[in-house]
Amino acid sequence: MKKLIVLISGSGTNLEAISKACAKGRINGAIEGVISNNPNAYGLERAKKNNLSYKVINHKKFENREKFDEELSNYISSIEPDLIILAGFMRILGKKLSDKYFGKIINIHPSLLPKYPGLDTHEQVLKNNDSFHGISIHYVSSELDAGPLIAQGKFQIKNNLSEDELKEKIHKIEHILYPKIIKEICDDHIHLEGNKVIFKNLKSSNNIIYENYDL
C-alpha cells in the first residue's frame, strides 16, 4: 500500500474525494498526512472527520519562501511518502523542493493546460467565450503549472453559464478524475521517466489521458 500526503489550503473537497476512495479500497494507498498552509482551511475539519493525521505549516510565520519550503520538506521527509498530492494547495513550491520530489508530486489545475496557468481560470474562460473548459492533472515541476501532463477532463460549455456554475462542473470532474489517476499511480500504471509520462495498460492519446464529460 502506497503512502500518500495531501497538501491543501481551502475547503478540501478533493481531499474528501481521495479519502473516500482510499477508505473504499479503490486506491491502493493510505493518506499518512494532510498539510495545510492555512490554519483556517475547512479541509482540516474534513481531515479530523476522516481521522487523518494533519499538520498546519502557516507560510505567514516564515520570513521567506525558502524557510517555509524547508519546514515543509522536513515534514514530508519524516513521512517518506510514495506520492505527494496537491489538492487546492495555493502556494508555489520553490525549485529546490520541486526538484527534490520531482516525479512524486502531482497537482490538479482548473483549466485545460497550457491554457490559463495560475489563477482566475473560470473568469478567463468566460471572457474569451471558450467552447470547452476542464481540468488538468500533471506532475509538478519548478515552473508554475507546466510539469508533464498526465490527464485532462473537459466538458462543453452550453448556454450562458455563470462563473459559479463553471466551478461546480469543474469540481464534479475533479472528484471523479483525480482519485482515478491517483489509483493508477498507486497501481504503478503511471510513472515519470525523465520528463515523459509512462502509461502501462492505459489508453492515452499524445501521451495524455483524455476524458470527456457531459455535464
Coarse DSSP helix, strand, coil percentages of the chain, rounded to the nearest 5 percent = 35, 25, 40
- Cβ atoms of 82 and 3 within 8 Å: the answer is yes
Q: State how far Cα 130 lies from the chain centre.
A: 23
Catalytic residue among 109, 122, 133, 138: 109
Give me the torsion for CA of 58, 102, 98, 92, rounded to 10°. Answer: -70
Q: Are strands 2-8 and 209-213 parallel, antiparallel or unpaired?
A: unpaired
Is 171 catalytic? The answer is: no
- Residues annotated catalytic, as ranges: 109
